[in-house]
Amino acid sequence: MALAPGPDLLGDGSGDERPKWDNKLQYLLSCVGFAVGLGNIWRFPYLCQTYGGGAFLIPYFIALAFEGIPLFHMELAIGQRLRKGSIGVWTTISPYLGGIGLGCFTVSSLIGIYYNTVLTWVLWYLLNSFQNPLPWSACPPDRNLTGFVEECQRSSSVSYFWYRQTLNVTADINDSGSIQWQLLVCLVASWAIVYLCIIRGIETTGKAIYFTALFPYLVLTIFLIRGLTLPGATEGLTYLFTPKMQILQNPRVWLDAATQIFFSLSLGFGGHIAFSSYNPPRNNCKKDAVTIALVNSMTSLYAAIIVFSVLGFKAANDHGRCLDRNILSLINAFDFPDQSISRDDYAAVLAHLNVTQPERVAGLGLESCHLEDFLDKSASGTGLAFIVFTEAILHMPGAPGWAVLFFGMLFTLGLSSMFGNMEAVITPLLDMGVMPRWVPKEVLTGVACLSCFLASIHFTLHSGNYWLEVFDRYAASLNLVIFAFLEVVGIVYIYGMNRFCDDVAWMTGRRPSLYWRVTWKVVSPLLLLTIFVAYIALLARAPPSYRAWNPQYDQFPTQQENVYPGWVQVTCMLLSFLPVLLVPAVALAQLLVRHRRKKKAALQDMHLKPQDSGAC
């Protein structure tokens, strides 16, 4: 184990050359921007909706207190203390643990590659929002100009725009198709924007973060005011937030709450370690950790209010149109005067007709319109952003303006998360001295961005959406949990809990209390282990499958459930386990190197000894 360097020595040594934050606000905004991302908008509200509304907040805040905040504090503290990126930190703690840092670095690169593709899609929608009417508002007419394109008519104009005109998705992951050039062009632009903002590391990121971290909050507030004044918003809010306590008996709720907190705070990437390594050595990282974690959770809640009010508006709208369709059928069939049945009279009229002419009414094929059915429709991820929300925006007055604001907000949210991601990749490279000293930092960041861009071209193929799901599910989830677990165990048991507490006391002025020590030693590792085991159990239960958009499917527009072909399953395994294998691989390599050095030293001693005896 390495000798403990005194705090002063470490502080002076690398403090002079290491870049610094201009002020504390930049650092806080960068961490907040990294933590607050697309998941706060499109994952948390979905979980709230699925798991009993307000009742979900209970497991969520418990997970925050016992898993999120302790792990977060630990990452910030270790980065600030050892003043290096993830690879440097772990090599300093113990050369045998360098694999953890290398693994975090690999996972961050993989995630950075596919995360920017989502930004590309957001950018594409943003660019298309500057027109009235919005391109996804109506189906395009078919070639004879007699009706609409069949695929669009059977699904909806919004789905058609997403699946056909944006992604041009194939029906099968095997069928790669060609590159969608519009997406490729947007991909170039989004990587150029990322490069522009991280070109000189935190010097440029620190300036860009003022806009990218604060703009989403401005837009969220504007949407809050708009959302709450929409008709149907209050019904949506009350229905979706009303707690349904019995759902807490389902263990899945607790698992998803723990997972959500973990991914929401962006733990295990090494990005927070990188950010805090640029801090002055004596900085109260405990206060920072608690503040940033709470800001992140409050943002999730804030976004959930907005999403629920817009969903309520959409449900009320859909319900109204369902009623209108039924009323029109009745009017046309029974020749009532135009507009003679209002939405309120509909129930009474239908009841009367059911009594007098039940066969005719049955023959009409009326839909059943209940508001709760529409409110229960939930969506997460890209489905929420690109299908549900875009449709809701269509019905707001001034739709293009709202679309621009919404996609601008999504873009800046994703961009600030990309900063953290790329810092997690670039800071270790800088610390390891991969490029010679005379190569300027701009070249290193340029090379990093260029390599990630070339790797992400694959996602602009027609099957790119399916591959993105593969990366999202297998490259990110398992690995981050494992690395966070190894981080906690490594710091608590190998670096030493007492040594770590001394460091924290030196940095913040106060020794960590019992709460911190218990959560670090016992609770958080246990929670992470449980998440990992549960994940494996869920994955092993069924062969991995995906949902494909297939116009030829007989139950179209429902998506077809396909099983992944063999070679894709192998890729999933590789993505899940290769980064983790780096840990034992590096440990083994270190063992061999040490072994060889010891042997060399022993041989040299043997050569020296006979000479000494001879001289004497």
Q: Is 35 annotated as a binding residue?
A: yes
Q: Is 417 annotated as a binding residue?
A: yes
Closest distance of CB 366 from other proteins, Å: 18
Backbone angles phi, psi at 545, to 5 degrees: -135, 170
The secondary structure of residue 552, as a DSSP letter, is T
Q: Which lies closer to other proteins via its Cβ, residue 102 or residue 158?
A: 158
Closest CA relative to residue 405, chosen from 578, 263, 224, 280: 224
Binding to other proteins in span 438-477, by CB under 8 A:
440, 442
Which of helix, strand or coil describes residue 343?
A: coil
Pick from 141, 231, 363, 565: which binds other proteins (CB under 8 A)?
141
* Binding segment toward other proteins, per CB under 8 A, in 46-54, 268-276, 327-335, 353-361: 327-335
Binding to other proteins in span 225-254, by CB under 8 A:
none
Closest distance of CB 21 from other proteins, Å: 19
Closest distance of CB 144 from other proteins, Å: 9
Q: Which lies closer to other proteins via its Cβ, residue 189 or residue 578?
A: 189
> Whole-angstrom Cα distance, residue 154 to residue 551?
9
106 binds other proteins (CB under 8 A): no
* Binding segment toward other proteins, per CB under 8 A, in 124-132, 225-233, 305-313, 383-391: 124-132
Pick from 200, 395, 458, 517: which binds other proteins (CB under 8 A)?
200
Binding to other proteins in span 163-192, by CB under 8 A:
185-186, 188-189, 192
Dihedral-angle region of residue 338 (phi above 0 means left; psi in -120 to 50 means alpha; beta otherwise)? beta
Closest distance of CB 297 from other proteins, Å: 33
Q: Is 296 annotated as a binding residue?
A: yes
Three-state secondary structure string covering 487-550: HHHHHHHHHHHHHHHHHHHHHHCCCCCHHHHHHHHHHHHHHHHHHHHHHHHHHHHCCCEEEECC
Pick from 5, 25, 131, 154: which binds other proteins (CB under 8 A)?
131
416 binds other proteins (CB under 8 A): no
Q: Which lies closer to other proteins via its Cβ, residue 185 or residue 585?
A: 185
Size of the site for other proteins (CB under 8 A): 31
* Helix orientation angle between 181-198 and 441-456, rounded to the nearest 10 degrees: 160
> Whole-angstrom Cα distance, residue 180 to residue 172?
16
Kindly list the distances between the CA atom of residue 458 and the CA atoms of 110, 234, 445, in Å, as whole numbers in the listed order: 13, 43, 21
Inter-residue contact 251 to 477 (CB < 8 Å): no
Binding to other proteins in span 499-538, by CB under 8 A:
none
Give me the amino acid identity at 156: S
148 binds other proteins (CB under 8 A): yes
210 binds other proteins (CB under 8 A): no
Closest distance of CB 333 from other proteins, Å: 10
Give me the amino acid identity at 33: G
* Binding segment toward other proteins, per CB under 8 A, in 64-72, 193-201, 279-287, 499-507: 193-201
∠ CA 53-159-377, rounded to 5°: 20
Pick from 62, 171, 184, 199: which binds other proteins (CB under 8 A)?
199
Q: Is 413 annotated as a binding residue?
A: yes
For residues 336 to 375, the per-residue mask of contacts with other proteins, x marking binding by CB under 8 A and - elsewhere, is xxxx------------------------------------
> Whole-angstrom Cα distance, residue 84 to residue 97?
15
Pick from 58, 62, 65, 127: which binds other proteins (CB under 8 A)?
127
**In 345-476, which residue ranges form alpha helices assigned H by DSSP?**
346-356, 358-364, 371-376, 382-383, 390-394, 399-432, 441-456, 464-470
196 binds other proteins (CB under 8 A): yes
Closest CA relative to residue 484, chosen from 424, 524, 514: 524
Q: Which lies closer to other proteins via its Cβ, residue 186 or residue 481?
A: 186
Question: Euclidean distance between the first and final Cα of the chain, in Å?
Answer: 38
Q: Which lies closer to other proteins via its Cβ, residue 373 or residue 442?
A: 442
Closest distance of CB 200 from other proteins, Å: 7
Pick from 3, 9, 17, 146: which binds other proteins (CB under 8 A)?
146
Closest CA relative to residue 575, chosen from 470, 458, 452: 470
Closest CA relative to residue 409, chosen from 155, 195, 215: 215
Q: Which lies closer to other proteins via its Cβ, residue 337 or residue 433?
A: 337
Quick one: 2 exposed, middle or buried, by C-beta within 10 A (0-12, 13-18, 19+)?
A: exposed
193 binds other proteins (CB under 8 A): yes
Inter-residue contact 269 to 107 (CB < 8 Å): yes
Q: Is 40 annotated as a binding residue?
A: yes
Q: Which residues pair with 546 in a beta bridge?
A: 562
214 binds other proteins (CB under 8 A): no
Q: Which lies closer to other proteins via its Cβ, residue 146 or residue 613?
A: 146
Inter-residue contact 63 to 258 (CB < 8 Å): yes
Q: Is 264 annotated as a binding residue?
A: yes
> Whole-angstrom Cα distance, residue 198 to residue 424?
12
Pick from 331, 353, 444, 457: which binds other proteins (CB under 8 A)?
331
Closest distance of CB 262 from other proteins, Å: 34
Going by the annotation, the residues of the binding site are 33, 35-36, 40, 264, 296, 413, 417
Per the annotation, binding residues for Na(+) are 33, 35-36, 40, 264, 296, 413, 417
Chain contacts with other proteins (rule: CB under 8 A):
124, 127-128, 130-131, 140-141, 145-148, 185-186, 188-189, 192-193, 195-196, 199-200, 204, 331-332, 335-339, 440, 442
